[in-house]
Structure 1
Amino acid sequence: MFLEKIKSAESGVMLYGITPPKANTQPERVAEIAQKTVERLASLDIDALVVYDVQDESARTTEERPFPFITALDPLTFASAHLGTLSIPKIIYRPAGKFSPDELSDWLEELHEHRLYPVFVGVPAPDFPVKTSLPEAYEIWSKHKDTSVIGAVTIPERHNLLNDEDVRILDKMSCGVSYFISQCVFNLDYAKQVIEDLTLRCNRQQVSPPTIIFTLTACGSVKTLHFMEWLGIHVPEDLKEELKVSEDILEKSVRLCLDIASALTTLCMERSIPFGFNIESVAIRKAEIEASIELATGIGQMLRDKGVRKSTTDRKVLNVKQFE
């Protein structure tokens, strides 16, 4: 259903995002992690699973990285070799600029063979040598446009700084991008401004807006909060203080994310912007993983209550009735 929902610009898309195990993980442990992931997500009402490509972004900033960088397994390999029993579609991130056109073309063919969907992202640092530009990467992908969809990333913090995220979005739409997954949202005002400016630009140019999928994540510790800021995620001072002084920072962050999701749902419905949410779960602590499941369940229920989402079970029943 993910492909159809994106192509038809249907709101209420629900994604769940993970990172692959570390590259030095023993094969039996990788299989164990994959099995637990499949079991955890099998009953969760989501449209697709996002598997991130973990990049070392240390060159992007002079600040010390709060957690050491450890290379992860290739997301395509992990998804295709270990998550095949999970029947939902998978979305694979890829920094297109790190690969030559031929390498990227081969990767897309393998992706298409496994019925996976790509999201192209930028290189880890501004001075990183680019082998394939994003427009070139989109052109290479275009041969699959009839049977696939391609996504891109949108960053509300960048819009606050440069005030051009709406322009970037429409430029990528002209290259075939039909949906955008945001960086983690903790600053509601930044995300709202992207939607407001995108609405104005789409109306002015008389084009249909793309689907915007907002990423939300639970935060389980002050150190994790610091790491998110290191990654470039802006957390307003008052919200940051709320998290730091709360008796249970994890529970507090889940409630804050639910509030953000509700506010963005209302705004997108008012502005007729197709939208959805991506619940990111990249921590290894059991409590944080469980909080991500709670967050995904809560947002899914909120979307159903507002009438913008049918559960996967409801959709299966509808599909069966079509053939009765």
Structure 2
Amino acid sequence: MFLDKIKSRESGILTYGITPPKMGTTPERTTEIAGKTMARLFPLDIDALIVYDVQDESARTSAERPFPFFQAQDPFDFARRYLQDLKVPKIIYRPAGKFSKDELSDWLEELHTHTFYPVFVGVPAPDYPVKTSLPEAYRIWSKHQATSVIGAVTIPERHAVLNDEDKRILDKAGCGVSYFISQCVFNVDYAKQVIADLEQTCKARQADFPTIIFTLTVCGSEKTLSFMDWLGIHVPDDLKQDFRTAGNMLERSVQVCLEIAAELTAFCAGRAIPFGFNIESVAIRNDEIEASIYMVNKIAGMLESTGVRKATVSQSSAA
């Protein structure tokens, strides 16, 4: 179980991340989308499904958004109403600052009833009026800590600029956060630097190392590459050029992600650091979705072959 693996700091966790359908999608079409999603996920050996909260982050940058923003359905509502047949734990993102303390408390009660797990994220822009701070949100959640776990986000790119991600992580760990899901990793050196600095800070503070789940995603087009830039995901210049000159950008990005997964596995396993991977699939193109499924299976096999992960029974086998 995801809960047990996080609480025991077990390595080799594997999750899959999706976005809900856009707001205004009919219930019939939403059911159809959910059915296709579950059909893809039933055979996968994953520990949990992440359902993101899609926010309009245009206010944080003056750069033009490569893709238009569409408000998505509420991730919790989508998961509980349409994905109930997928019998894996659901991890639901929520920007805590958008909600009052009472609203968050009620939401957490509902989440707990469904055995879903929260990840609190920041607000869309620095000047957004905050109703509840992250420390306050963690305090509200703490009543569930005996039977739940809460996650947070870590951004290696922020560490490259501010050099304080290790301290941010441990400050949140002190509030009860036990696992951290990274922004998409294409600069493996950035990710490794966070781990190396966090390792030193944990030793200095005599603190347990929290679980780090690295997010990987495919890149199948120049427009997707531009969108990653817009989101603040650092793709090194030589890798961008590699993608652009590849005969098939999608295939090359899959290969790069698998190489990153192998490198981070060796890096973390050699230090006895609890880690895992989240394969993100937020595209609508079928070839990119299928590539993400391929990555899940390849990374699961790699983790099992290195002894980091034990195979579990898939949804389809259990049915």
TM-score (norm 1): 0.96
Q: Are residue 120 (structure 1) and residue 120 (structure 2) matched? A: yes
Equivalent AA in structure 1 for residue 306 of structure 2: K
Equivalent AA in structure 2 for residue 233 of structure 1: I
Equivalent AA in structure 2 for residue 125 of structure 1: A
Equivalent AA in structure 1 for residue 36 of structure 2: K
C-alpha distance after superposition, 1:124-148 (max 9, x if no partner): 0011000000000000000000000
Equivalent AA in structure 1 for residue 16 of structure 2: Y
Match of 2:66 in 1: 66
Cα distance in 1 between the residues matched to 2:271 and 2:156: 17
Cα distance in 2 between the residues matched to 1:134 and 1:81: 27
Cα distance in 2 between the residues matched to 1:297 and 1:161: 34
Q: Are residue 265 (structure 1) and residue 265 (structure 2) matched? A: yes
Match of 1:13 in 2: 13
**How is 1:67-146 mapped onto 2 (pairs within 5 angstroms)?**
67-146=67-146
Q: Are residue 239 (structure 1) and residue 255 (structure 2) matched? A: no
Cα distance in 1 between the residues matched to 2:165 and 2:271: 17
Q: CA deviation at 1:24?
A: 1.5
Cα distance in 1 between the residues matched to 2:11 and 2:26: 40
Q: Are residue 167 (structure 1) and residue 176 (structure 2) matched? A: no
C-alpha distance after superposition, 1:174-222 (max 9, x if no partner): 0000000000000011000000000000011111100000000001101
Q: CA deviation at 1:27?
A: 1.2
Cα distance in 2 between the residues matched to 1:60 and 1:184: 18
Q: SS at the partner of 2:123?
A: coil
Aligned sequence identity (%): 70
Match of 1:211 in 2: 211
Cα distance in 2 between the residues matched to 1:229 and 1:90: 28
Match of 1:295 in 2: 295
Equivalent AA in structure 2 for residue 190 of structure 1: Y
Match of 2:198 in 1: 198
Moved over 6 A (4+): none
Q: CA deviation at 1:291?
A: 0.2
Q: CA deviation at 1:26?
A: 1.4
Cα distance in 2 between the residues matched to 1:270 and 1:40: 33
TM-score (norm 2): 0.98
Match of 1:320 in 2: none
Equivalent AA in structure 2 for residue 132 of structure 1: T
Q: SS at the partner of 2:67?
A: coil
Match of 2:35 in 1: 35
Equivalent AA in structure 1 for residue 11 of structure 2: S
Equivalent AA in structure 2 for residue 74 of structure 1: D
Cα distance in 2 between the residues matched to 1:188 and 1:110: 37
- Give the number of aligned pairs: 315
Equivalent AA in structure 1 for residue 164 of structure 2: D
Match of 2:222 in 1: 222
**How is 1:265-284 mapped onto 2 (pairs within 5 angstroms)?**
265-284=265-284
Q: SS at the partner of 1:287?
A: helix
Cα distance in 2 between the residues matched to 1:244 and 1:3: 41
C-alpha distance after superposition, 1:7-62 (max 9, x if no partner): 00000000000000000211111000001111110010100000000000000100
Match of 1:25 in 2: 25
Equivalent AA in structure 2 for residue 159 of structure 1: H
C-alpha distance after superposition, 1:212-269 (max 9, x if no partner): 0000000110100100110000000000100011111000000000000000000101
Q: SS at the partner of 2:228?
A: helix
Equivalent AA in structure 2 for residue 63 of structure 1: A
Cα distance in 2 between the residues matched to 1:299 and 1:229: 25
Cα distance in 1 between the residues matched to 2:71 and 2:313: 37
Q: SS at the partner of 2:66?
A: coil
